[in-house]
Structure 1
Amino acid sequence: MSELNSLFRKRIGISEEENITFETLDNILEKTAYNIPFENLCIIENKTNDITKENLMNKILLKKEGGLCYELNSIFYLFLIENGFNAFLARGVVYNQENQGFQTHGRNHVTILINHEGQTYLIDTGFGANLPLKPVPLTGETIISNNGKFRIEKVNTEHGDYVLHIKLKHKDTDWRIGYAFDSKRMVTDLLELNEIQSAISEHPESPFNKNPLITRLTSGGSVTLTDSSFTQWVDGKVTKEKIGYARFKELSKRHFGL
């Protein structure tokens, strides 16, 4: 077993003996979502490194940090490859709910596609609290996981040929757009993701280069931490606490191990 395979299993809490199949991916996706946070601290602190397999392993598996989509989905993609899956990385554009339009600073979302028994599925471990905890087929079928409903619509836009739709449990009363993605334009080299990291780090419209953000799913909902607030969703009930720097450091360690 490779070092990456062994370390990833240790990070999310599964044994080296467990055989990972398409049927067990639900469990793997849940454990990943619960144990590896979505966070932008390296960008805020200007401590980014080139996106390579070695650097991703060091950051997420050895130092036990989290990351953004291009880091979290890249390490999960490498883990899938190590376990025999036919997986690919693809780029997309996130939909801005506030402005009711797709973000305009490039195809800066990274997601995963896998082919299994003649069917293509989307997998995403890097979309904050909006994660489908099961593979979502590109057929339009609605998938229900512990945190909500997900489906993919085939529609040609300037951003790709499919759109992910989301309806989170306790949060969304109707379907909303998550992001558009291009199933025909694969990421063939991790070095391509450095362009995404640069855009997210430097572009004035990037939502991730202004304030710290840490979030992860929990069995009952989610926890989200910024430099000014701590929000917990538990079984549909939300609590929000205003915080300062000292409380931020305390909560980031207690709830995210950072």
Structure 2
Amino acid sequence: MNDLNGKFRERINFPIDESITLENLDTLLEKTAFSLPFENLCTLSGDLNNLSDEYLVGKIIQRNEGGLCYDLNGILYLFLKENGLDVQLIRGSVYVPDKKGFSPTGRTHAAILLNDDGKRYLVDTGFGGNLPLRPVPMDGTEIISPSGEFRVKKEASEFGDYFLEMKLKYKDPDWKIGYAFDSREPVENINDLSEMKKIITEHPQSPFNKKPLLTRVTSDGSMVLTEHSFTHWTEAGVQKEEIDPERFKELAKEFYNIELK
């Protein structure tokens, strides 16, 4: 698969000879989040190519792009699987606070379940600036990371049998729902996420097919770039810069390593 193992490690600057285990997944997830931006430029172009192992390697590894949840968690799933971890892809539905409900696009969030020594964990590197940066235990144990606090709650909903809940650093005073997900219906292969991609690309209420959005977690917070503003959350507070199209291109290159024409 075009040396996915070596090329992925090179892309995120992870040692080539270090085995991947539960113990060093924290480091791996941080490096992945810092290196692979969450962005929708491919979606805005109308790309409806089916997802496959080869497609993701080409997009993320060879062309050095970022992507949405199915791209980022898709490539991470392939990498973890190639390194011998017991992982499964799952579907979920994102909670939208402004709508006081779940996304009208349905189960269009892809994430990963990890089984290790009889215990299960949620792993996610495709949730924008809301990344746990840690495997989150499925038994309700709260974890603390540079992004904030996270926990998985077992509770039935129309979208599954669990919720991811979070308290983002510098943003949330209280716990809130990130998304609901279903652990009982794993995605069989990467291609099965293609329908999710099609919905996100074409649905009239999709949040990702209208305006550019680039998000990245940093070592001290998170940053979001849109066509009109650049916002950076840190311990010092929120910094927001109003921008024009030329500045948008500069910031995309400087902070997201994306070259725009």
- Under a length normalisation based on structure 2, what TM-score does the superposition of the two structures give? 0.96
Q: Deviations over 1:85-110 (max 9, x none)?
A: 00000000000011111112221000
Structure 1 stretches (4+) deviating beyond 4 angstroms? none
Identity %: 53
Secondary structure of 1:66's partner? coil
The reply to whether residue 237 of structure 1 matches residue 237 of structure 2 is yes
For 2:236 and 2:255, the matched residues in 1 are separated by 19
Which blocks of at least 5 consecutive residues in structure 1 are unaligned?
A: none
For 1:189 and 1:81, the matched residues in 2 are separated by 12
Secondary structure of 2:99's partner? coil
Could you say which residue in structure 2 is the equivalent of 1:55? Answer: 55
Secondary structure of 2:155's partner? strand
Q: How does 1:101-140 map to 2 (within 5 A)?
A: 101-140=101-140
Could you say which residue in structure 1 is the equivalent of 2:215? Answer: 215
Q: State the 1:223 CA deviation.
A: 1.4
Q: What value does the CA root-mean-square deviation take over the aligned residues? A: 1.2
Could you say which residue in structure 2 is the equivalent of 1:155? Answer: 155
Q: How does 1:18-57 map to 2 (within 5 A)?
A: 18-57=18-57
Q: Which amino acid aligns with 2:69?
A: C
* Count of residues in correspondence between the two structures: 258
Secondary structure of 1:222's partner? strand
Q: How does 1:82-93 map to 2 (within 5 A)?
A: 82-93=82-93
The reply to whether residue 17 of structure 1 matches residue 17 of structure 2 is yes
For 1:88 and 1:2, the matched residues in 2 are separated by 22
Could you say which residue in structure 2 is the equivalent of 1:65? Answer: 65
Q: State the 1:49 CA deviation.
A: 2.6
Check 1:41–1:2 CA distance in 2 against 1; reply closer, same or farther (3 A cut): closer
For 1:90 and 1:247, the matched residues in 2 are separated by 37
Q: Which amino acid aligns with 2:113?
A: L
Q: State the 1:14 CA deviation.
A: 1.2
For 2:49 and 2:18, the matched residues in 1 are separated by 32
Check 1:48–1:246 CA distance in 2 against 1; reply closer, same or farther (3 A cut): farther
